[in-house]
Structure 1
Amino acid sequence: MPAFSLEPEQIAWCGELRTLAAERLRPLAEKGEAGHVNRPLVTELGRLGLLERLFTSGALDLCLMRESLAYACTEAETALALQGLGAHPVHAYGTPPQRERWLPGVSEGSAVAAFALSEPGAGSDAAALSLTAHPDGPGRWRLTGEKCWISNAPEADFYTVFARTTPGAGARGVTAFLVPADRPGLTGRALDMLSPHPIGALDLAAVPVTADDVLGEVDRGFRVAMGTLNLFRPSVGAFAVGMAQAALDATLAHTAERDAFGGKLKDLQSVAHQVAEMALRTEAARLMVYAAATAYDAGAPGVPGRAAMAKLLATETAQYVVDQAVQLHGARALRRGHLLEHLYREVRAPRIYEGASEVQRGIIAKELYADVETLEAPR
């Protein structure tokens, strides 16, 4: 099957997800408080079986879920994605007791997860983490430092926290810990951000953790982080594609109905060509996202580069499409409550989180040059 081809049942499922998002999830999202975890919304995602699919489906299914939900309800998409991002390290690298303790709650929507990687001085450069795990006896540490820009903080029930266990070792000296929110010394505060979903900072003052809290292996936490991001980066692109498609469809409807200069807005060649460009870029981004996800599911080589390309192209494309949609709608799109006003605020953040666009370009270049060195290696 070509990487860009969807089966009829997948197309039908995407339609069902859009309907569920519009009819059952959006009303709950509208009742939520911006900047806070919407637990009724998370619970409904669990009731619909979508959270469980985070752990039973592949990367392509994840992309289809995120794209479809984003089209009709970005808040539902984000709630689902944050559950997956925070809990995937437990699913993929956790011990049986860790998985049994937390994953059922994540799946049913009763336990909220968070992925705590970024710090005030270590956002895009994840290997520069300074939050430190100080030894506190055999198999015991105390976590001290700060995390920042953490989605679902400070309201999550548990965090995947990345801390430095070996000073001066760069990426090789980081360990991932599963830290319940009620651990002594763990506090947090919400941050007032442009996008409406919950983001906060965490302060860790000698928070106790043990070998039972380690995800994966000691000093191998960077592998946990990158393994998670390689899965979720294409799906960030899918989130962006869903927003771009919503903006494009709104623009098609508006330009077909809007009277301007003795005809409809769509009759102006400059407008028609702009809409065509928006559609072209959206479809190209969608195909790259699907191709990257399919490569991940197939265990194909070059997944980090493919994932970076998909996230980069899709997020930059969505920014362009939403911006052009606002321009073609005019002042009405700037009013609070308008779909495009909402998308305009939502679309900016994905170009930064889970690796800024500049970081994605660096990953792509690194992968390309690694391929060149392999080709030029002496035989």
Structure 2
Amino acid sequence: MTAFSLDPGQTSWCEELRALAEQRLRPLAEKGEPGHVNRPLIAALGESGLLDRMLDSGALDLCLLRESLARGCTEAETALALQGLGTHPVLRAGTSAQRARWLPEVRAGRAVAAFALSEPGAGSDAAALTLHAEPDSGTGSVPGRGWRLTGEKCWISNAPEADFYTVFARTTRGAGSRGVTAFLVPADRPGLTGTALDMLSPHPIGTLCFDGVPVTVEDVLGEPDRGFRVAMDTLNLFRPSVGAFAVGMARAALDATLAHTAERIAFKGPLKDLQAVSHQVAEMATRTEAARLLVYAAAAAYDAGEPGVPRRAAMAKLYATETAQYVVDTAVQLHGARALRRGHLLEHLYREVRAPRIYEGASEVQRTVIARELYANKEASA
């Protein structure tokens, strides 16, 4: 078996996932209300065992899961990924009580999770967040065991409809990334409100306003002032899988392009016989395969506990998301005006493919991570 090729069992599983996405999940996605959490779709993900598989998977399985679902139904892929992003900190850093309360509900598709890191002034620069947690001398029945959260989160997927939020707040001022604590905040806490945002691609996403929201030591994920580590652990796992999502979209666009250019007659023959077309299709396929292999390599490195995971994860996300943008755009060009019609697969992908180059660290941030690690390794070996 060559490096990063799939064995027959993995290939079969990917095809099963794609068929499930197309036949069962896509109809549920199409019935959902744009811009809102699709709870029947999430319930179906739970009933099919995919949420279980996601939470129990390593990075490579997570990538195969996201790529295969994205190829058949991007909404299903996104719903699953958001559940993972919001729940992974609980899985890895939560207390036994937190895990017992929320993980069975997530696995069954009954509870909706959200990852609340970004703020209006702290998106890519996550260490600059300003949502602050002030010590609360009178939280609950035991004084001195809690905080009050005050501030705002923005661009939070599944907000304001999630059932619980993984929230990152500043507990020590002036300490940069070392003064951030992760909290598990149920949506029904007093003082927590939110507003939905209308985005280019109509996903559930919104703002959260914290007006003295009470949290206690029982709500901390991990250790106080060590929440940035929780965030980075989550992002190091999910960044390659964002690349897998992008690869899935690129493969869907490539599939559609192969079918269209083989059937569409122009200039007395199929489009595929025009060198200008066939060479573009070849370029689309080559870049997609390169992105796919880079994603698998990053995921395998994460699973093996190898050094350089942040750099590899950044490379995978950067290259795969930029590639997907290119492939989808080229597919639209080769399809012509029909691809711009509302409801066409490529019109849908064209809107979907733009955001992954921004969220979980924009492409520019990924380049910074890569360069920083390269120079650090050079200095260490000098």
Q: What TM-score, normalized by structure 2, do the two folds share?
A: 0.98
The equivalent of 1:33 in structure 2 is 33
> Is 194-203 or 317-326 further displaced after alignment?
194-203
Q: Residue 245 of structure 1 aligns to which amino acid in structure 2?
A: R
The equivalent of 2:380 in structure 1 is 374
Instruction: Assess if the C-alpha contact under 8 Å between 1:3 and 1:294 holds in 2.
Output: no
Tell me how far apart the structure 2 counterparts of residues 345 and 3 of structure 1 sit (CA, whole Å): 33
The CA RMSD over aligned residues, in Å, is 0.7
Tell me how far apart the structure 2 counterparts of residues 286 and 340 of structure 1 sit (CA, whole Å): 20
SS at match of 1:115: strand
Tell me how far apart the structure 1 counterparts of residues 244 and 47 of structure 2 sit (CA, whole Å): 23
The equivalent of 1:124 in structure 2 is 124
The equivalent of 1:73 in structure 2 is 73
The equivalent of 2:134 in structure 1 is 134
Given the alignment of the two structures, is residue 56 of structure 1 paired with residue 56 of structure 2, yes or no? yes
SS at match of 1:52: helix
Q: Residue 205 of structure 2 aligns to which amino acid in structure 1?
A: I
Given the alignment of the two structures, is residue 299 of structure 1 paired with residue 305 of structure 2, yes or no? yes
The equivalent of 2:259 in structure 1 is 253
Given the alignment of the two structures, is residue 229 of structure 1 paired with residue 231 of structure 2, yes or no? no
Tell me how far apart the structure 1 counterparts of residues 97 and 255 of structure 2 sit (CA, whole Å): 47
Deviation at 1:139, TM superposition (A): 2.3
- 1:93-172 equivalent positions in 2, closer than 5 A: 93-137=93-137, 138-172=144-178
Tell me how far apart the structure 2 counterparts of residues 54 and 371 of structure 1 sit (CA, whole Å): 33
The equivalent of 2:195 in structure 1 is 189
Give per-residue Cα distances to partners, 1:209-229, cap 9 Å, x unaligned: 000000000000000000000
The equivalent of 1:179 in structure 2 is 185
Given the alignment of the two structures, is residue 326 of structure 1 paired with residue 332 of structure 2, yes or no? yes
Give per-residue Cα distances to partners, 1:290-335, cap 9 Å, x unaligned: 0100100000110000000000000000000000000000000000
The 4+ residue runs of structure 1 with deviation greater than 6 A are none
Instruction: From the superposition, tell whether residues 2 and 161 of structure 1 become closer, same or farther in structure 2 (CA, over 3 Å).
Output: farther
The equivalent of 2:88 in structure 1 is 88
Deviation at 1:2, TM superposition (A): 5.3
Give per-residue Cα distances to partners, 1:60-101, cap 9 Å, x unaligned: 000000000000100000000000000000000000000000
Deviation at 1:54, TM superposition (A): 1.9
Give per-residue Cα distances to partners, 1:145-168, cap 9 Å, x unaligned: 000000000000000000000001
Give per-residue Cα distances to partners, 1:250-306, cap 9 Å, x unaligned: 000000001111111111101000000000000000000001001000001100000
Given the alignment of the two structures, is residue 241 of structure 1 paired with residue 253 of structure 2, yes or no? no
Tell me how far apart the structure 2 counterparts of residues 301 and 5 of structure 1 sit (CA, whole Å): 22
Tell me how far apart the structure 2 counterparts of residues 95 and 54 of structure 1 sit (CA, whole Å): 20
SS at match of 1:51: helix
Deviation at 1:3, TM superposition (A): 4.3
Q: Residue 103 of structure 1 aligns to which amino acid in structure 2?
A: L
From 183, 187, 206, the counterpart of 2:212: 206
Instruction: Assess if the C-alpha contact under 8 Å between 2:54 and 2:65 holds in 1.
Output: no
Deviation at 1:4, TM superposition (A): 1.2
Tell me how far apart the structure 1 counterparts of residues 3 and 305 of structure 2 sit (CA, whole Å): 13
Deviation at 1:57, TM superposition (A): 1.1
**Structure 2: gaps (5+ residues):** 138-143
SS at match of 1:266: helix
> Is 116-125 or 362-371 further displaced after alignment?
362-371
Instruction: Assess if the C-alpha contact under 8 Å between 2:82 and 2:113 holds in 1.
Output: yes
What is the identity percentage for the equivalent residue pairs of Structure 1 and Structure 2? 81
The equivalent of 2:343 in structure 1 is 337
Q: Residue 208 of structure 1 aligns to which amino acid in structure 2?
A: P
Instruction: Assess if the C-alpha contact under 8 Å between 1:70 and 1:243 holds in 2.
Output: yes
**Structure 1: gaps (5+ residues):** none
Tell me how far apart the structure 2 counterparts of residues 218 and 337 of structure 1 sit (CA, whole Å): 47
Given the alignment of the two structures, is residue 47 of structure 1 paired with residue 30 of structure 2, yes or no? no
Tell me how far apart the structure 1 counterparts of residues 301 and 145 of structure 2 sit (CA, whole Å): 38
Tell me how far apart the structure 2 counterparts of residues 34 and 279 of structure 1 sit (CA, whole Å): 31
SS at match of 1:150: strand
Tell me how far apart the structure 2 counterparts of residues 307 and 10 of structure 1 sit (CA, whole Å): 22
Tell me how far apart the structure 1 counterparts of residues 49 and 368 of structure 2 sit (CA, whole Å): 37
Give per-residue Cα distances to partners, 1:159-212, cap 9 Å, x unaligned: 000000000110000000000000000000100001121000000000000000
Instruction: From the superposition, tell whether residues 315 and 210 of structure 1 become closer, same or farther in structure 2 (CA, over 3 Å).
Output: same
Tell me how far apart the structure 2 counterparts of residues 195 and 349 of structure 1 sit (CA, whole Å): 8
Tell me how far apart the structure 2 counterparts of residues 55 and 21 of structure 1 sit (CA, whole Å): 19
Deviation at 1:55, TM superposition (A): 1.9
Q: What TM-score, normalized by structure 1, do the two folds share?
A: 0.98
Tell me how far apart the structure 2 counterparts of residues 334 and 55 of structure 1 sit (CA, whole Å): 37
